[in-house]
Amino acid sequence: MLESIGVAVFGILIFLFLFWKRLKEDYAAEIIFKSATYILAGIGIGYAIASGFFPAWFFWTAATGGLVGLAFAILRFRVRFYETLEAFILSSLPWLALVFLQDSVAKSSLSSFLAFLVILIMVFVAYYFDTHYKRFSWYKSGKIGFAGLATAILIFLIRSAIAIVKVPMLSFAGSGETALSGVTVLICFLLFLNLGKVKK
């Protein structure tokens, strides 16, 4: 119990720092942290709902809650969608990695440890995308958001593939995981295509 609380607190602090760091050039600190508060509140509500009714769905309810919080932040503070979505996605990765690491230690779970390694790799992949996407000749728009959406697509493709082979995993929503992850990949891909459009 104490370990889970410690991971949550540490994860939130990392999330806040990275979220602020990604947006500090364009927004005042007050707007950034209020936006982050909306997102964290949504994550907390989503997690609480899952804990009370369907624990296996905690990842999806927390993610949905976070996106609802993001939507409120966009409407309230007029922050840009793709930029803030990317900050949300990339700032969440270390926190998610910590959750898997804590579970792997607490339950001696090999699958959670492997998930931790995958998310850790995705952190480095995201960093690579973030520092090199403007050099990709085929990504002509050069707009911010590439790293976040590309990383999300990879993560949910991996989740979908793992669910297909029916490997038990913390945060998997049972038999519906493949469909949920697949639909998420499709949505992220459509957003990615829209982001990549070059305005004439």
pLDDT tens string 6-33 = 889 999 999 999 999 999 999 999 999 9
Which residues, in sequence order, are CB contacts of 35 under 8 Å at separation 6+?
Answer: 19, 23, 27, 70, 73, 77, 79, 84
What pLDDT does residue 199 have? 60
Question: To the nearest whole number, what is the mean pLDDT of the chain?
Answer: 90
Domain locations in the chain as residue ranges = 2-195
CB 131 within 8 A of CB 138: no
What pLDDT score was predicted for residue 1? 66
pTM of the predicted structure, to 2 decimals = 0.92
CA-to-CA distance for 112 and 120, rounded, in angstroms?
A: 12
Percent of the chain with pLDDT strictly greater than 70: 97
Report pLDDT for 200: 39
The pLDDT tens digits of the residues spanning 55-69 come to: 888 899 999 999 999
